[in-house]
C-alpha cells in the first residue's frame, strides 16, 4: 500500500514532497473519531505520568505566565534535567517580570551562566522590558501578540499561549515534529518547508478537540522526551502505539528523515592569559555574535589554519600574542608560555582553544579595554563555559607554576 506522506514514487504516482504531504493534510489522515481517541489516550497518559516541574501547572490548570516564559526560553535546545537548577536559580534572583526588566544585562547573563546560548538570556531580558514598558507588566495572552516579543517564535508563542492562557493553538518543536513524523509515517524531510507546513497542520489537529490545549501540547513534548526519543523509541510502552504508522511498520528508528546538516565550522580561539601580580586581564566580548556581552581572557579568534593552530605548527608561541595584546590593550608582554588546549563544540562551530599565559612587562591598560581581576574575583563576571574552563586551566597552571608544552 502506498504510504501517506511518502517520498514521491512511481507506485504512488504523486508529484513531489509538496503534493504528497499537502494532499494528505487536505484530506485529513484520520477521521475525527480517531483524533478524539488519540487525544484522550495522549492526555490520560500525561495526567498519569507527567513529570512535575517547577514551571509546569498540574493537568487541567494554567501555568503562571512569567514562569512559563522563562522556562520556555531556557528549554530551547536544552533538556529539562539541565534546565531545572537554572530555572530555580533564575526565579530566585528575578522572581517577577518587573525585577527582570529592571536588572542589568550583566546580572542576567551571570545568573544564566553555564546554560549556554546566551542570546536567549538577552532576548528574555528585552522581552521583560517590553512587557513592562508596553504592556504594563502583563504578559500578552495570545500567540499572535506574544510572537512580537524578542526571542519568541511561533513555537514559544504557542507554548505560552496554550499553557498559561489556555489558547487552542499548536506547537511544533523537534520533539513534536519527531512524534508526528512517526505517527503518520512521514518519509519526507522534516526540514523541508512543505513538510514543516504539513506538520504544523497536524499539530493544529492535536489541539482541535475539547481537551485542554496546554495539556495536549505538553503531552506531545513529554511523549517526545520520554517515549518517542530520537534513538531507541520505547514503542511497547507508548500510550499512542495503536495510532502509530511507524511503529506498526517497524520503522520508528528510521524516522524522521532529516536533510543533511552542515558540519560545524572549525575555528581556533587563541587565549593569552595576561598576568600582572595576582591579577589577570579580562575583556568583554562585543554586543553581537557568539557569546555576545560575556567576559573572557584576551582571545584572538581565527580560522583553523591560523599560525600555531596545529600541534606541529612551526612557531606556536609566536602567533603574534605580543602585538595582539599590545594593540588591543596597550600592555607589553614577556615571553608567552603554553598552558594547554581543548576543543569546544557549539551548534555551528568546532572551536580549538589554545591557551597561553604571559606576564606584563610594561605599558598601561588602555581605558575601557578590559579589567584586572584575581581568578577568584573573576567568578563575578558572566562567562561562557569554555572561558570558565580556560580560567580553570590557567589557575591550575599558576598553582603548579609551570607550563604544559
By CB under 6 A, tell whether 179 contacts ligand SF4. yes
The number of beta carbons lying within 10 Å of the beta carbon of residue 13 is 8
In the complex, least distance from residue 207 CB atom to ligand SF4, rounded to whole angstroms: 17
Segment interacting with ligand SF4 (CB under 6 A) among 26-34, 109-117, 177-185, 290-298:
177-185
Catalytic residue list? 72
Segment interacting with ligand SF4 (CB under 6 A) among 130-138, 139-147, 152-160, 228-236:
228-236
Query: Which of these, 256, 230, 252, lies nearest to 241 by C-alpha position?
Result: 252
H-helix or E-strand spanning residue 48 = helix 32-49
In the complex, least distance from residue 230 CB atom to ligand SF4, rounded to whole angstroms: 10
On whether the CB atoms of residues 68 and 97 are closer than 8 A, the answer is no
How many residues at the interface with ligand SF4, by CB under 6 A? Answer: 15
Closer residue to ligand SF4, CB minimum distance, 246 or 383:
246
By CB under 6 A, tell whether 161 contacts ligand SF4. no
75 Cβ neighbours under 8 A, 6+ residues apart: 83
On whether the CB atoms of residues 300 and 336 are closer than 8 A, the answer is no
In the complex, least distance from residue 182 CB atom to ligand SF4, rounded to whole angstroms: 4
By CB under 6 A, tell whether 202 contacts ligand SF4. no
By CB under 6 A, tell whether 120 contacts ligand SF4. no
By CB under 6 A, tell whether 183 contacts ligand SF4. yes
372 Cβ neighbours under 8 A, 6+ residues apart: 276, 279, 280, 281, 282, 365
Closer residue to ligand SF4, CB minimum distance, 237 or 276:
237
In the complex, least distance from residue 173 CB atom to ligand SF4, rounded to whole angstroms: 15
**CA–centroid distance for 404 within its chain:** 34
d(CA 190, CA 146): 25
Site for ligand SF4 in 208-227 (CB under 6 A): 227
Closer residue to ligand SF4, CB minimum distance, 250 or 368:
250
In the complex, least distance from residue 223 CB atom to ligand SF4, rounded to whole angstroms: 7
Vertex 313 angle, CA 280 and 343, to 5°: 55
d(CA 275, CA 355): 13
Site for ligand SF4 in 232-261 (CB under 6 A): 233-235, 238, 240-241, 244, 246-247, 252
The radius of gyration computed from the CA coordinates of the chain, to the nearest angstrom, equals: 26
User: Which phi and psi (to 5°) does residue 300 adopt?
Assistant: -105, 125
In the complex, least distance from residue 42 CB atom to ligand SF4, rounded to whole angstroms: 10
Peptide bond connecting 279 to the previous residue in cis, omega within 30 degrees of 0: no
Closer residue to ligand SF4, CB minimum distance, 222 or 322:
222
**Residues in contact with ligand SF4 by the rule CB under 6 A:** 179, 182-183, 227-228, 233-235, 238, 240-241, 244, 246-247, 252
Amino acid at each position: 500500500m502506498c504510504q501517506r506522506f511518502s517520498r514521491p514514487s512511481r507506485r504512488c504516482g504523486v508529484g513531489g514532497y509538496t503534493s504528497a504531504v499537502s494532499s494528505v493534510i487536505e484530506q485529513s489522515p484520520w477521521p475525527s473519531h480517531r483524533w478524539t481517541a488519540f487525544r484522550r489516550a495522549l492526555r490520560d497518559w500525561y495526567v498519569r505520568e507527567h513529570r512535575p516541574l517547577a514551571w509546569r501547572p498540574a493537568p487541567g490548570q494554567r501555568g503562571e505566565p512569567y514562569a512559563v516564559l522563562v522556562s520556555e526560553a531556557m528549554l530551547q535546545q536544552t533538556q529539562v534535567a539541565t534546565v531545572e537548577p537554572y530555572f530555580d536559580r533564575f526565579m530566585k534572583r528575578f522572581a517577577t517580570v518587573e525585577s527582570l526588566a529592571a536588572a542589568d544585562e550583566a546580572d542576567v547573563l551571570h545568573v544564566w551562566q553555564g546554560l549556554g546560548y546566551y542570546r536567549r538570556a538577552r532576548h528574555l531580558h528585552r522581552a521583560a522590558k517590553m512587557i513592562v514598558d508596553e504592556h504594563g507588566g502583563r504578559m500578552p495572552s495570545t500567540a499572535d501578540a506574544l510572537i512580537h516579543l524578542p526571542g519568541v517564535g511561533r513555537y514559544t508563542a504557542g507554548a505560552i499561549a496554550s499553557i498559561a492562557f489556555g489558547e487552542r493553538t499548536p506547537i511544533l518543536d523537534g520533539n513534536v515534529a519527531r512524534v508526528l513524523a512517526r505517527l503518520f509515517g512521514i518519509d519526507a524531510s522534516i526540514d523541508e518547508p512543505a513538510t514543516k507546513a504539513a506538520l504544523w497542520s497536524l499539530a493544529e489537529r492535536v489541539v482541535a478537540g475539547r481537551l485542554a490545549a496546554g495539556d495536549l501540547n505538553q503531552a506531545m513534548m513529554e511523549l517526545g522526551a520520554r517515549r518517542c526519543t530520537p534513538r531507541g523509541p520505547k514503542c511497547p510502552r507508548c500510550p499512542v502505539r495503536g495510532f502509530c504508522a511507524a511503529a506498526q511498520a517497524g520503522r520508528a528508528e528510521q524516522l524522521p528523515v532529516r536533510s543533511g546538516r552542515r558540519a560545524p565550522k572549525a575555528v581556533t580561539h587563541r587565549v593569552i592569559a595576561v598576568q600582572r601580580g595576582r591579577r589577570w586581564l579580562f575583556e568583554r566580548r562585543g554586543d553581537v555574535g557568539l557569546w555576545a556581552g560575556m567576559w573572557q581572557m584576551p582571545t584572538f579568534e581565527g580560522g583553523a589554519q591560523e599560525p600555531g593552530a596545529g600541534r606541529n605548527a612551526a612557531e606556536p608561541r609566536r602567533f603574534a600574542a605580543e602585538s595582539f595584546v599590545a594593540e588591543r590593550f596597550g600592555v607589553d608582554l614577556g615571553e608567552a608560555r603554553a598552558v594547554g588546549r581543548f576543543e569546544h563544540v557549539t551548534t555551528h562551530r568546532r572551536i580549538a582553544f589554545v591557551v597561553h599565559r604571559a606576564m606584563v612587562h610594561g605599558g598601561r591598560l588602555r581605558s575601557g579595554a578590559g579589567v584586572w581581576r584575581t581568578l577568584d574575583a573573576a567568578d563575578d563576571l558572566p562567562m561562557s563555559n569554555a572561558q570558565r574552563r580556560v580560567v580553570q586551566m590557567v589557575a591550575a597552571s599558576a598553582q603548579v607554576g609551570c607550563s604544559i608544552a
